Chain A
Amino acid sequence: MEHTSLLERILRGAALTLVVIFFMFPIVWILMMSFQTNETILRIPPQLVFKPTLANYTALITGKLTTAAGTLDIAFMRNLWNSVFLSVTSVAVALLLGVPAAYAFARHKFRGSEDIAFTLLSFRFAPALLVLLPLTLYFQKLGLANTYIGLIWVYQLICLPLILWIVRGYFEDIPADIEYAYRIAGHSWFATFRKIALPLAGPGIAAAGLLAFIFAWNNFIFALVLASADKQPVTVGALAFITSSGIQYGQISAAIVLSITPTLALALYAQRYLVEGLSLGAVKG
């Protein structure tokens, strides 16, 4: 067994604490701010001891923001719901389209397949602002502006290339012989896809889906331009806290806490798959 002296253990503990404090401080600070009023937050010097209040959370949940200038309606819960709906639907659509496409790109090298795959990836290279103006004009003509369908469609620019390229790598890692063996045993190519390729690439698909979800959740610019208040996700909705009577730090903090909760919960739940999926050797028996 490795021998460690008491001093070594103490130093190691101190170093670890330092690292944790460094990385966790902003999150802890936001969590603390979310339980304070604007006045206590802005007090100088800042105080670690305060009387916690749930006013920020109640304001968000009831949708009534009380400021010095009067009462203001905010649609935060609506925004949160929009975020969940848009992200979940976008990832679902992207998985539905992307996974079979990834399988096709991995297993069937047809003329131009590399070019098509690369073109899809290149959607991620262009700055979003570059495509937004023409996209807005088209969407207004097509009647897709300010609709969920339009937004989910645009979100495919974020999700689809990500899923396609990650999942394709996992399919390529499955030895072709394993699929051949299943075909020779008398199963159709579709059964082989369902019973062999999908389960073996499962961890990779879960990892890609989670990453796509996080990217979709964090998106700001598409929704800002293409959606109006009732379709906007939390990232855009947070702008409402910059009011005429000042920035509502307490509500912003509470909003941040509420909006990182779903992704955090999902990441914690899928952690096992993520680690399994992002490290190689999952397939090799």
Chain B
Amino acid sequence: MASLELRNVVKRYKSQTVLDNLSLSVADGETLVLFGPSGAGKTVLLRLVAGVIDPDEGKIFIGGEDMTDLDAEFRGVGMAFQNFALFPHMTAFDNIATPLQAKRSSQNAMKAGVESVAKLLKIGHVLSHKPRALSNGQKQRTALARALVGSPPVLLLDDPLRNVDAKLRFEMRLELPRLLADRGATVVYVTQDYKEAMALGDRIAVMSQGVIKQLGTPEQIYREPANIEIARLFGDPTINLLDVKPSRDAKGIYVGLSNVQVHLTGAYDATVGRDCVIGLRPEALRFVDDGTPAAIPVTIEAETPLNEKIVTLVRTVRGREILVSRPAGTAGQIEGRAHIAVDGKGALLFDRASGDRIGSKNVVNLHSGEAA
């Protein structure tokens, strides 16, 4: 129905560049999540697509047509705002009906359209209320219903779950993907919550300071983050980052972790002697018995049982703190000395100066040998 493309878009406010030569394309029917800290330019990007602000340079295409100079009402997009932006003087019904009104739908068609989308979002019973009489969750659903009701080919959702409570956010995170898939619309979804990004996105674009730092599937962003910043943003508990300086011996490239040599396989020849940072996901570490090859001795400092996992804070012999995560219900030591081993999958190597990840696209394989 409608793909979306931004070509070399620049937006400045006074001397500040908010979007810096940004290009992005979203395929028809795809859900793209824009993820990044506040001030990254996510909301500005959505508004440019919606047509309520104009880019200083660059072009915007919707469904292959150049929409750059077209006013908002002719672009045929639906948008839900972070602060809901409901019309305070209209009932929920009238709020939701505004896109149908603009299309000069008949009264019956309007009623049917509003009621079906209200039923879908479970707000059928509050349609006669004014926004001030609605709870936050109902406001959010009303705003979403208003964006959905006209079946727009392009949907822009600006952090719609930001201002709702945790329980509702969790529910909506489950419901939304199916809802969006059923609509078949091209969706751009802005969020600051990495779990939301992982749950909803076909692809995720990580934005920072007006540029896209990485674009990929949730799996790619998590497994192969482009830099330390992105690795830190995705994952809970946060990734362990340790300063290392890779060396070479007869068996290949290795890094020293607490007097244990951990060998790396992969194209890391260029890293020898360079200051690097190794990133280890907490779930890529596990407790092992003493005497296991490449076991790293640690002291257990604290343990936090979460519902689905247990997170343990341990300290290495050099005093560095590391988080280890294991599924709930599995046995483990809770105090004293222990040993951990590095699992092959989650280890990532970054250049310390630039923060960029080193290595090819494939996942890093590790095999370890005990220290000499």
Q: Using CB atoms and an 8 Å cutoff, list the residues of chain A in contact with chain B.
A: 175, 177-178, 180-189, 196, 199-200, 283-285
B190 to chain A, nearest CB (A): 14
Q: B residues within 8 A CB of A285?
A: 86, 88, 130-132
- A-B pairs, top 9 by smallest CB distance, nearest first, are A186-B102, A285-B88, A177-B85, A183-B72, A185-B98, A285-B131, A185-B99, A181-B85, A180-B52
Question: When the two chains form the complex, which single residue of B72, B101, B103 contacts A184, counting CB atoms closer than 8 Å?
Answer: B72
A177–B84 Cα gap in the complex (Å)?
9
Q: Is the CB of A180 within 8 A of B73?
A: no
Task: Identify the stretch in B25-33, B75-83, B206-214 within 8 Å (CB) of chain A at 4 or more residues.
Answer: B75-83
| Binding site secondary structure of chain A | helix
**Chain B interface residue count: which class?**
20 to 34
Specify the chain B residue showing the minimal Cβ separation from A176. Answer: B52
Kindly list chain A residues whose C-beta atoms are within 8 Å of the C-beta of B51. Answer: 183-184
Contact of A186 among B73, B81, B86, B130 (CB under 8 A): B73
| Complex contact A177–B83 (CB within 8 A) | yes
Residue ranges of B at the interface with A (Cβ–Cβ < 8 Å): 47, 50-52, 71-73, 75-79, 81, 83, 85-89, 98-99, 101-103, 130-132, 146, 150
CB-CB under 8 A from B86, the residues of chain A are 178, 181, 285
- Nearest-neighbour CB distance to chain A for B44, whole angstroms, equals 13
CA gap between A284 and B84 in the complex, in Å: 12
Nearest neighbor of A199 in chain B, beta-carbon distance: B89
Q: Chain B contacts of A199 at CB under 8 A?
A: 89
16 additional A-B pairs beyond A181-B79, A183-B71, beta carbons within 8 Å, are A177-B85, A178-B86, A180-B72, A180-B85, A181-B87, A183-B52, A184-B52, A184-B78, A185-B73, A185-B102, A185-B146, A185-B150, A186-B99, A199-B89, A285-B88, A285-B131
Chain B residues whose C-beta falls within 8 Å of the C-beta of A284 in the assembled complex: 88
The residue among B71, B77, B88, B150 with the most chain A CB atoms within 10 A of its own CB is B88
* Cβ-defined contact, A187 with B102, below 8 A: yes
- Within the complex, the shortest CB–CB distance from B147 to chain A, in Å, comes to 8
Q: Is A200's CB under 8 angstroms from B72's CB?
A: no
B150 contacts which chain A residues (CB < 8 A)?
185-186
Determine which of B50, B76, B98 lies in contact with A180 in the assembled complex, contact meaning CB atoms within 8 Å: B50
Contact status B85-A178, CB under 8 Å:
yes
Q: Give 14 CB contacts A-B under 8 Å.
A: A178-B87, A180-B50, A180-B52, A180-B79, A181-B85, A182-B98, A183-B72, A184-B51, A184-B52, A184-B75, A186-B73, A187-B73, A187-B98, A285-B86
> How far, in Å, is B160 (CB) from chain A's closest CB?
13
Q: How far is it, in angstroms, between the C-alpha of A182 and the C-alpha of B50 when the chains are bound? A: 12
Please judge, given known A-B contacts A285-B131, A285-B132, whether A184 and B88 are in contact too, CB under 8 Å. no
- CB of A184 within 8 A of CB of B50, answer yes
* B residues less than 8 Å from A283 (CB atoms): 88
Chain B residues within an 8 Å CB radius of A177: 81, 83, 85
A100 to chain B, nearest CB (A): 19
Contacting residues, chain B, for A181 (C-beta < 8 A): 79, 81, 85-87, 146
Q: Most chain-B Cβ atoms within 10 A of its Cβ — which of A184, A186, A284?
A: A184
By beta carbon, the residue of chain A nearest B79 is: A184
Given contacts A177-B81, A285-B132, contact A184 B73 (CB under 8 A): yes
Give the residues in chain B near A180, CB-CB below 8 Å.
47, 50, 52, 72, 79, 81, 85
- Nearest-neighbour CB distance to chain B for A190, whole angstroms, equals 11
Closest B residue by C-beta to A202:
B89
Q: Determine whether the beta carbon of B85 is less than 8 Å from that of A175.
A: yes
For A183, list chain B residues within 8 Å (CB).
Answer: 51-52, 71-73
Q: Report the nearest A residue to B103, measured CB to CB.
A: A186
| Chain A, Cβ-Cβ closest to B47 | A180
Assembly CA distance A283 to B89 (angstroms): 9
A15 vs chain B, min Cβ distance (A): 38
Report how far A98 CA is from B89 CA in the complex, Å: 23
> Across the two chains, which residue of chain B brings its CB closest to A188?
B73
User: Looking at A200, A283, A285, which has the most chain B CB atoms within 10 Å of its CB?
Assistant: A285
Distance in Å from the Cβ of B195 to the closest Cβ of chain A?
26
Complex Cα distance, B52 from A180, in Å, reads 6
Q: Which residue of A lies closest to B73 (CB)?
A: A186
**CA separation between A154 and B306, bound complex, in Å?**
75
B29 CB, nearest partner CB in chain A, Å: 21
Whole-angstrom distance between the Cβ of A17 and the nearest chain B Cβ: 40
Q: How far is the CA of A178 from the CA of B89 in the complex (A)?
A: 11
A198 to chain B, nearest CB (A): 10
Kindly list chain B residues whose C-beta atoms are within 8 Å of the C-beta of A182: 87, 98
Closest A residue to B88 by beta carbon equals A285
* Closest beta carbon of chain B to A184's beta carbon, Å: 5
